């Protein structure tokens, strides 16, 4: 089993035309939102960042849906003195093809803080973890993940720097944050685990 993993495949509907995001090392990157329905009928609205060259190679005659292959990434920004963690999908390949919606994600990393275990009012067990997923050039992506039931119980027994490998989906969740200006609606992104493994070997 590979020790370091970060990959995601999405298939969904393009919500709007890509908008310029930023330029890095002479390359231009664009951002767009992909709408990916769940089996439950709910919909995840997921941000995707892609280099202009990848977008220029898309043949839209293949269908109305896009398939995106890449990695889940994070980026810290500071706005008005407040740090926020942005989560997005960094696309390595994009194709236009119709088919069933896909939201398949695998991440493996080290816990960078102690897990948070809780129960819903109906008694469902949930564990929130933050994974530091290694990236090239000694960097890391910090990805919030949520585990359920038995895997939540197992994750709750782990500690900082323990390794977890999660297979699941990237989901969006709308929440309300109370500020001095009043209530603000925001969107959080997290990897929701279908399965989890706890490798003993160091990464």
CA dist., res. 51 & res. 13, Å (int): 19
Please give the Cα distance from 64 to 70 (Å, whole number). Answer: 20
- Predicted confidence at residue 1, as pLDDT, reads 40
Q: Where in the chain is the domain with CATH 2.40.50.140?
A: 5-102, 106-197
Q: 108: closest CA among 44, 199, 46, 25?
A: 199
**In the prediction, which pLDDT does 203 show?**
54
The pLDDT of residue 172: 96
Homologous superfamily in CATH for domain 106-197: Nucleic acid-binding proteins (2.40.50.140)
Q: In this structure, which CATH number among 3.30.390.50, 3.40.50.720, 1.10.520.10, 2.40.50.140 belongs to the domain 5-102?
A: 2.40.50.140
Predicted model pTM? 0.90
Phi-psi map region of 153: left, alpha, beta (phi>0 left; psi -120 to 50 alpha): alpha
Handedness of CA 85, 86, 90, 95 (dihedral sign): positive
Task: List the chain pLDDT tens, one digit each, 203 residues.
Answer: 445 589 999 999 998 889 999 999 999 999 999 999 998 989 999 999 999 999 998 876 777 899 999 999 999 887 767 788 999 999 999 999 889 999 999 999 999 999 999 998 899 999 999 999 999 888 999 999 999 999 999 999 999 999 999 999 999 998 887 777 788 888 999 999 999 999 986 55
Can you give the pLDDT at residue 2? 47
């Amino acid at each position: 089993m590979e020790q370091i993993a970060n990959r995601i495949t999405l298939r969904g509907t393009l919500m709007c035309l890509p908008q310029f995001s930023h330029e890095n090392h002479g390359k231009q990157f664009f951002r767009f939102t992909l709408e990916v329905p769940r089996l439950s009928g709910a919909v995840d609205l997921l941000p995707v960042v892609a280099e202009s060259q990848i977008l220029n190679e898309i043949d839209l005659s293949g269908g109305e849906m896009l398939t995106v292959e890449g990695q889940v990434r994070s980026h810290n920004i500071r706005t008005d003195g407040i740090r926020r963690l942005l989560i997005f999908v960094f696309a390595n390949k994009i194709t236009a093809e119709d088919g069933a919606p896909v939201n398949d994600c695998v991440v493996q990393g080290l816990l960078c803080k102690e897990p948070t275990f809780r129960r819903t009012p109906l008694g469902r067990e949930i564990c929130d973890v933050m994974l530091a997923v290694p990236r090239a050039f000694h960097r890391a992506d910090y990805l919030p993940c949520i585990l359920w039931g038995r895997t939540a119980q197992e994750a709750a027994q782990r500690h900082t720097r323990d390794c977890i490998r999660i297979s699941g989906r990237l989901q969006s969740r709308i929440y309300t944050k109370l500020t001095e200006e009043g209530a603000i609606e925001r969107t959080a992104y997290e990897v929701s685990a279908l399965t989890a493994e706890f490798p003993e070997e160091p990464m």
